[in-house]
Amino acid sequence: MSIWADMSTIVTATLSGDINFKVVQAYRSDGAWFVFGPLTVIGAILVNYIYKMVPWVDRNFERMIAVTAYIIIALIIFVGVIERFVFSSQVPWSTTIPPLIFMIMSWYGCSYNVKLRTHLSFSEFRSKMGPRAQYRCLVMDNVLWFVFCIIAVTTMSRITVNTYDNFAIVLGTDGVMRWWFIVTMPVAFVLMAGRVLSNALIDRRRYLNNETLIEQAVIGGQG
């Protein structure tokens, strides 16, 4: 199949929900990059616009997901320990669902920390540079993060469709599908791309206005 045919198959099948082996093959082709690359860019622009229009979402959405996921994991493990050592029984999915929820917590938390610039920021080292060198470092960071987001959105979409097509269920359950958890990952990386775009716009404004570019970041702090 040509790239254009693969792209058409990906778009039409995804919108219609008609996933089959032919669609899975299209997702594995190079056409997927030409679909999800632009979608990541468009998604980043929309996410950045939402963050600007709704400050509450900007401040709390990813943190709310991460904290909720953490609480659910803690409750499952707490109940599982009591069941195992007090009642000598254990729910089969108590060891399989928490890792999937942890995956959600990790990447949505990562998206928020991209906003805070706490991931490999090297602020102590870069703060000693001149403004132009600092700005170049920040541009490099944003480009690498955005490329990473495109790669993650594309590959995780492939995994989601493959898992959906295989009817993979979470071990220890009767009908909880694995793709229900995995599908949240492309969304997380689109949100992350929105954070990267927001950072890039902030960096450009600060550079043009001769403002401070490198600031000390605190993990878990307010953005």
Look up the domain containing 135 and give its range. 3-57+117-208
Residue 169 inside a domain? The answer is yes
Residue 177 inside a domain? The answer is yes
What is the pLDDT confidence band of residue 111, given thresholds at 50, 70 and 90?
A: very high
CB atoms within 10 A of CB 140: 10
Residue 89 inside a domain? The answer is no
pLDDT of residue 154: 95
Q: Which residue has the tokens 């943190």?
A: 63
Residue 53 inside a domain? The answer is yes
pLDDT tens, position by position, 115-149: 888 877 777 777 788 888 889 988 999 999 999 99
Distance CA 143, CA 173 (A): 41
Question: How many domains, the chain?
Answer: 1
Question: Distances in Å between the alpha carbon of 208 and those of 155, 168, 201, 203?
Answer: 36, 51, 11, 9
Radius of gyration over every alpha carbon of the chain, rounded to an integer in angstroms: 21
Residue 74 inside a domain? The answer is no
Residue 199 inside a domain? The answer is yes
Contacts of 61 (CB under 8 A, 6+ apart): 191
pLDDT tens, position by position, 149-171: 999 999 999 999 999 888 889 98
Percentage of the chain lying above the pLDDT 70 cut? 95
Residue 39 inside a domain? The answer is yes
Six token digits for residue 89: 């029984």
φ and ψ of 177, to 5 deg: -85, 140
pLDDT tens, position by position, 49-68: 999 999 999 989 999 999 99
Query: Are the beta carbons of 101 and 69 closer than 8 angstroms?
Result: yes
Residue 100 inside a domain? The answer is no
pLDDT of residue 1: 56
CB atoms within 10 A of CB 30: 9
